[in-house]
Amino acid sequence: MVFVKLSIRDLLFSPWKAPILGPQEQTFEKQKESQKEVLAKLESRLESVEFLLTNEKLEDAKLLFQVLAFDLVNFQLQRTNQKEIPIGGNLSSFVLPETDRKLKPFGFIKSLDQVNRFNEKEMDEVLSSAVDTYEYLLYESKKEFKTRYQTVLDQFRFIKQIRFFLMSVVLSFSIFGLVYYQYKYPQMKDQSIKLYSFIGKDKPETSESLMVSQPVLKKDIGNWVDYEWTLPDSMSMFGGLRIDPLEQRGIRFSLDQFSILDSKGKELYHKKFVVSESLLPEDYQDFLQISDIKTAGKQMPGELVEMITTGRDPQIHLVFPILSDVKTIKLKMKYIEAHKVKKK
C-alpha cells in the first residue's frame, strides 16, 4: 500500500480545481476506468451464477460459468499485457499468477472442462473458487491503481476526500455545539401563560374549553408583570386552577401573589408564593401537583418562591374551596433566563 504524504499546506493551499493530466496520465486514467468497468461486470456475473444455482437452474448456471471463467482469465491477461484467449479456447498456455494468498486464484481452471458433468454441490465449489479469483483480481487491481497507474488526479481526489471529511466534522461539531448551547442556555421566546379551571381535588381534569391565556413577551424578561384575566361565565365556579406558566424548558420564574375576585371585585381567594420554614412553598398542601418544574437552588424562608421549568409542559395545580361567581384572576410574575441568574 502506498501512503500519500500530506501536509497542512497541501490541504489548505493545493488547488480546488481538478488538475490537467498529461498524455500518459490520461492513458492511465482510461485504463483504470476500463478495469473498474470489467471488475463490475465480473461481480455481476458471479451474482448471476449464484442466483441461477439458488433457483435450481443448474444447466443455465453451467453455461454462464463457462463465460465467467474466460472473463476472469482474460482480465488477468489484460492487466498483465498478454494476449486474451477467446471463449472456449485452450487455456493450457495460461500461467497461474504467484501469490501469497491462502486461497489460490484460478483453481477452477483444472476442472473447467468437466463443468458440464458437475452436480449442484460441485458447481458450488467451483463457483467458490471463482469468487476467490475475483477477490484476488480486485485486490491486485486496487494495488496497481495506487502504484503503477497513480496520477496527480489520485492525490487530488484523496485531498478532496480529506477536505470533505474535515468540513463534515467541523459542520457536525458546529451543529452539535449550537444545539447543545440552545439546550444548555435556552433563550426565552414569546409564548403564553395559561390558566385552566377544574372542579377540585377529586376531579382535577381540565379541558381547552375552560382555559384563558395571556401572552408572555420576551421584552418583559426581568420585570415584574401583572397578568389579569376576565373569565367567561363557563369558568365562574371552580375549586382548582391549573397554571401553565410557560411553554419552554430552562426558564426561571418567580411567583409573587395570586388573587381571585368575583363579579363585584371582591377578593375570594388570595395566595402569596413564599418559602416556608420547611423550605417548601408555604401552604404546600394547596399544591395538588407540580410537573416539569423544580425549585431554583437554595432559597431562604420568607423569600418569594423561584422555580425553573424542566420540560416543555410545566404545570402547577392549585386547589382551594369551591368558589362561585368568579370573574377575575390576577397573577404577578417575573421571568428570567435561568442561565443568567447568579448562583447563591
Angstrom distance (rounded) from CA 230 to CA 238: 15
- pLDDT attached to residue 5: 56
- pLDDT attached to residue 339: 57
DSSP-derived 3-state class of residue 336 = strand
* CATH number of the 191-340 domain: 2.60.120
Q: Which CATH superfamily is domain 22-150 in?
A: Nucleotidyltransferases  domain 2 (1.20.120.330)
- pLDDT attached to residue 75: 94
pTM beyond 0.75, yes or no? no
pLDDT surpasses 70 at 15: no
pLDDT surpasses 60 at 344: no
Mean pLDDT of the chain: 88
Output DSSP code: residue 21: P
pLDDT surpasses 50 at 3: no
Angstrom distance (rounded) from CA 171 to CA 165: 10
Q: Name the pLDDT band for 236 (thresholds 50, 70, 90).
A: very high
- pLDDT attached to residue 209: 95
pLDDT tens-digit readout, 67-120: 999 999 999 999 888 999 999 888 888 988 888 888 889 999 998 989 999 999
pLDDT tens-digit readout, 302-318: 999 999 999 889 999 99
pLDDT tens-digit readout, 117-154: 999 999 999 999 999 999 999 999 988 888 887 777 77
Three cell numbers at 100?
501469497
238 DSSP β-pair partners: 323
Q: Domain limits of the chain?
A: 22-150, 191-340
Residue whose C-alpha is closest to residue 307's, from 322, 330, 287, 285:
287
Neighbour-count burial for 16-51, b at 16+ CB within 10 Å, e otherwise = eeeeeeeeebeebeebbeebeebbeebeebbebbbe
Where are the extended beta strands (E) located within the chain? Answer: 191-198, 211-216, 224-230, 238-244, 251-262, 267-272, 287-291, 293-295, 306-309, 315-323, 326-337
